Amino acid sequence: MLKVISSHVFLRNRLHPGLLETFQKSGAQGVELFAARQHFDYTDRSAVRDLAEWFRSNPTEAFSMHAPLYADHEMGRGGAPGVNVIHPEKSRRIDAMDEIKRALEVAEQIHFRFLVVHLGEREDTWTPRALEFSMTALEHLRAFANPLGVKLLVENLQNEVTRPANILEIFNTAHFTDIGVCLDVGHAHLTEGVGLALAELKDRIRSSHLHDNNGDRDSHLWPGDGTIGWDDVYDGLKSASHTPAGVLEIHYALEETPETIMQKAAKAFEKF
């Protein structure tokens, strides 16, 4: 598996080349850019140029981008609504897709392979309308992403819309043969179980979010610090039709230092 780490671990810091150096020293072959304005402001052309120059000068690639979850600089803490492409209100859906397109424009300077997309928020349920809105959003974003050389990946969340069977229904109903899945192992552990998610989605998995928890909340711990059986996870991912990348997605609230991130990431990558 390609060794990738998400910049989410530094979410409380402005992303800059020095932090990318930390990832490279850990042995990461790729980085997933977490599109949050207070961390990686995808609308700041100067900041984007600085990061683009670093990626051009170093072997570590910008593998993927996580689509924005909020459009503000506070991750919704000030009351700003979430970026929800399947919200019941049409204006909210349009605003959400526009915000994701702003992030996608980064690919003009920093080429990345995949955009990881959320369909809904935790409370969203599976209904015919959710199916319709999901297909519309993915079709719209795909049309914007493809000319930039970016493919979409749908992430399994803790909501009904992104249960494995429902993701496949969205793909099959809309004939989305070129949209894949980012299997979030921690989320699967909290819902249907990692084994079931792997078995159902194996043919569509192109990337994976690797983090641990104790089955009670979405803690985003380092692999091995929770109750997930990682040997089975790695075996399952490696046997998938298209061996996916492994993206360490560790929570910023753990307040790791650059030194401990290098050490722990390098240890985790040994399992890949």
Domain count, the chain: 1
User: On the CB side of 254, how many CA atoms lie within 13 Å of its CA?
Assistant: 21
Local structure of 14: helix, strand or coil: coil
For residue 236, what pLDDT is reported?
95
Q: Cα–Cα distances in Å, from 208 out to 21, 32, 252?
A: 22, 11, 18
Q: Are strands 61-66 and 114-117 parallel, antiparallel or unpaired?
A: parallel
Length of the chain: 272
**DSSP assignment of 43-93:** T-HHHHHHHHHHHHHSSSEEEEEEPPSBSSSSTTTTSPPB--TT-SSHHHH
Q: At what angle do helices 128-145 and 90-104 cross, to 10 degrees?
A: 30
Tell me how far apart the alpha carbons of residues 102 and 117 are, in angstroms, rounded to a whole number: 14
SS3 at position 178? coil
The average pLDDT across 124-150 equals 98
Name the 3-class secondary structure at 180.
Answer: strand
Q: Tokens 């319709």 belong to which residue?
A: 132
pLDDT for position 76: 77
% of the chain at pLDDT higher than 90: 95
Mapping DSSP to helix (H, G, I), strand (E, B) and coil, where does residue 101 land?
Answer: helix
Tracing tokens 């390609």 back to the chain, one arrives at 2
* pLDDT > 90? residue 85: yes
pLDDT in tens, 143-196: 999 999 999 999 999 999 999 999 999 999 999 999 999 999 999 999 999 999
β partners of residue 117: 154
> Contact, 101 vs 144, CB < 8 A?
yes
**Whole-prediction pTM:** 0.96
Domain of 154, in residue numbers: 3-269
pLDDT digits (tens, 9 = 90+) for 209-235: 999 999 999 999 999 999 999 999 999
**pLDDT tops 80 at residue 68:** yes
H or E stretch at 195: helix 194-201
Contact yes or no for 156/164 (Cβ under 8 A): yes
> Pairing mode, if any, of strands 151-155 and 245-248?
unpaired
Closest CA to 36 of 124, 106, 129: 106
CB 213 within 8 A of CB 254: no
CATH number for 172: 3.20.20.150
